Structure 1
Amino acid sequence: MRDLFAALPDDPAPPLADGYLGEVLRRGRRSVRRRRIGTAAAWTAVVLALVAVLLPGVPRPAGPAAPAHRPSLPDRFAGYSTLTSTVERSAPGRAIALYTFGNGEAFNMFQSLVVGADADTYRRVDDMERHDLSMGLLSPDGTRVLVGDDRGATSELTLVDLTTGRRRSIGLGTPLGVRPLAWSPDGRYAAYSATALEQPDTSAVDYVETSVLDHGTLRLLDVETGRSTEIPSIKGPWTAAFAPGGARLAVQVAQDVHLLDLNGHEEGVVPIGSGRGLVAGVGWSPDGRFLTTVPWVSGSSDHDVFITDNVDATFVPLDPATPTPSPLHDVARFLGWRDPDHAIAAAVNASGRLSLIEITLPTNERRVLSRFDAGSSCELGTQHCEVIDLQLAAGLLPDLDVRTARSPDRGPWPWFVRLPVAALLTTAAALTWFLRRRRARRAR
C-alpha cells in the first residue's frame, strides 16, 4: 500500500469551483431544516389528533334551560350509532323526543335516546339503560325525564335533568313496583302506579308491569317537593292523561275512565268501550272536550313493543252531546296536539318506514314532518333498527317548527374508542418520524 501511494502523482488537487463551499453549506442547512420541519409537522399532527380525540371527553357547560327560540323537529332522525354519548357525560339541552331504538334478535343493542329540540343532538339516557330500558316519561317542556324500574322493586324514582346532566333521586319509602303514567302540562305533577311486589318471576320480562297493572294503586308525585300521595280508590290504573290546565286527571281502570281532581276526588266516569284504551299522557284534547283512545289489550301495555303496525284512534266526548272528530285511521302512535284541530302521530307506510305526521282533524289531511332511518345498522349490521315507546315533548308541540337535519351531534366518543384511536395515531406518528430519520441517515 505504501508503494501504491508513493506512485501517486504529487500534483495539487484541482481547485474548487467558485462558491462550492457555500453551496455545500446551504444544502446541508436546507436538509436539516426539512428534517426539523417534517418532525415538527408530524408531532403537531399528533398533538392536534390527540386534542380532537380527547378534548370531547371534557364536560361541556350546560345549555340554557329555556331557549328563547322556537323548538323544532328534525326532518330526518339519524341512524343507529354505538358512538352516541350519554346525558350524564354531555347534557344535550331540552329534547323534542324520547324513544328506544335498536334491536335484540341476537344481541341486545337497544338505546334509550333523547333528540334535541334546538339542535341535532342525540344522547342516551343513562338511567333508563341502567334499569334495562325501563320506561321513562319526557316532561312537557322537554327538559327532564322521569325514570322508574321495569325489572324489579325500587325504592326511588330518578329525575334526569337534560339541561345539566344531573340526576335527582326521589324516595318512595319502601321498595315498590312502579310504572310512570303521565306528566301534568306545567311539569309540577307526575302520575304513576305502584304496588308491593312478591318474589320476582325472572322468567317474565314484564313482571313489574303486569303486577302493577293488576294490583297497583294510583300515586300522584309532586315533582318539586318529592312528596307522593296515594289515591287508593283507583286500583289497577292502566293509563292516564292530565287535563289541559293540569287541574284534573283522567285515569283508565278496565273500560272506564275516572275523572279526578288533584286531591283524588272523583268527578265522573266516562266509559270508553270494550277493547279501547286512553292514550297515555296526551289523551285529553287541548280544548278539554273529549278523550282519545286506541286499541288496547287488557292487562298489558305496548311500551316495549316495536312500532310496526297502524291502528285507528277514536274520540270519546266527556259530554255525550258534544260532537267529536271522525276517527283517525292508519296511525301507529298518537303523540300529541298542536291545537284542537291538529294532532301529531306516528305512521307506518307500506314499506314499513316510520314517519311523524301532522293531521288536520276536520279534513283528515296529512303532512309528513319527519322520517326515521330505515337502515339495517343494528346488531352489527345484521338487523333493521326498530323504534319503541316513542314520546314527544307535548308542551313544545304548539310552537313546533321542522328543521333540516344536519350531521348529528352524538357527544364525546366513549373511552373504549378514544383511547385506541389516540394510541393508533401516536404509533403512526412515531413510525413516520423513525422512517424519516432512517431515510435521512441513509441519504447522508
Structure 2
Amino acid sequence: MPQDSSQSAERAPWIFSVGQRLVAQAGRIGAAPTDSTERALQKRLIVLLSVGLLPLTFLWSVIYFAAGARLSAAIPGLYTIIAPINTAVFASTRNLAVYRFIQLLIFLILPWLLMLSLGGFKDSSVVIIWAALCPLAALLLEELRQTLFWIVGFVSLLIASALLQPYLVPAGLSETFVTWFFVLNIGAVIAIAFALLYYFVFQRNFFQERSEMLLLNILPREISEALKANQQPIAAQYEDASILFADVVEFTSMAATMTPMRLVDLLNEVFQCFDDLVEKYDLEKIKTIGDCYMVAAGVPRSCPDHATRIVNLALDMRAAITERKFGDRELAFRIGVNSGPVVAGVIGRKKFIYDLWGDAVNIASRMESQGQNQCIQITSHTFGLIKDEFVCAARGPIKVKGGDHLEVWHVLARKAT
C-alpha cells in the first residue's frame, strides 16, 4: 500500500503538467501575432470554454442514453460534433467574430432544446441553467452593447419555456436521477462560471501589472500616477536639482566595426549596469540618446543631497567602467554633472517621455561633451554643494560651447571619513 501511494504521488504532478499543457495548447488555437492583449484574452477564453465543455457534454450524452432518453442524449452529443468542427475552422480562419457567434448560439439553444426534450424545468433538472453561460461568456468576450442581445435571448427562452411547460411530456426519468442531475447541473455551471471569471480576472490583472511595470520603466511613479488621473500636460519647476550625462568615448568609430546586434547588446549591458546604480541611489534615469545616458537627482522627488547622490553615482559608474569589460571591450566614458534649477515634465500625446529643460541641463551636457576620458567634470554650482565630501581638482575656466567661460573641477574620489 505505501508503494502504491508513492506511485500516485509521483503521477500527480505529471498529470497536472499534462493538463497545463493541454490548456496552453487550447489557448493558442486561432491566436495571431498581431492580436492585441484584449483580443488574445478573448480568444483564449472562448476556446478554453468551448473545448473544456466537450468532456461534460459527452458524459451527459452517455448518461442520458443509458437512462433511456435517447433523443435527449443526442442533443449534448450534437455539441461534441459541432464544437470541434467550429474550433477547427477557427484555427484555420482565425475569425473570432464568426467562431464566437456560433459558440454562443450553441450555448444558448442546446440547453433549451434539452430541457424541452426532458419535459420542462423540473424533469430536466433545470438543465437550461447551462444556457446562462451564453450571456456570461458574452459579457467577457464582447462589447456591452452586443451582450444585451444574448441576455435578451436567454430571458426570452426562459419565458418561452414557461409558456410551453404545460404541453411538455416528461422523459420518464426516475426521481433520484432528476435530483442528482439538479446537483450536477447547478454545481457544474457554477464551477465553470467561477473558473471562467477567475481566469479572466487573473489574466486581466497580469496584463495590468505588466502594463503598469512598463509604464513605470518609462515614467517616474509620481508622474505615472498624475498622468492616469489627469491627461493634461505635466510640468513643474525645481530650484535645486543635479543632472548627469555619461557618454561613450569614440563611440561612432567603434560602432562602425560592430554588427548591429553586438552593438545593441553592448549598450544594453552598459546601461543595465548603470540602471542598477541609479536604483541604488534612488535617482531618476531620464533617458538614453544613442550612447548617452542621462540621470537626474532632485526630480521629481526633491532631496537636499541631490548633488552628493549624483556624484556618488558618477564615481560608481566610473569604477564599474574601469573594473570590467563590456562586450569583451574596454570602454572609456566622459561624465559631466551640473546643478541648478530645471523644468521637468511630460508633453505630447503619443510616445511621451519625462524630460528636463533649462540652462542647468544644457551646461551639464557641455560638461560631458567637453570633458576628458574617464573624468567626472563638474561646474562650480555642483562643486559648492559637494566640496566637503569629495576630493576635487580645479581645472580652471573652459569655454563652453554657445556660452561663456566656466570654472570646472574634476571629481577624484570620496574624502576619507
Select the structure that is richer in strand. 1
Structure with higher RCO (Cα < 8 A, 6+ apart): 1
* TM bin (shorter chain): under 0.3
Normalising by structure 1, report the TM-score. Answer: 0.25
Normalising by structure 2, report the TM-score. Answer: 0.26
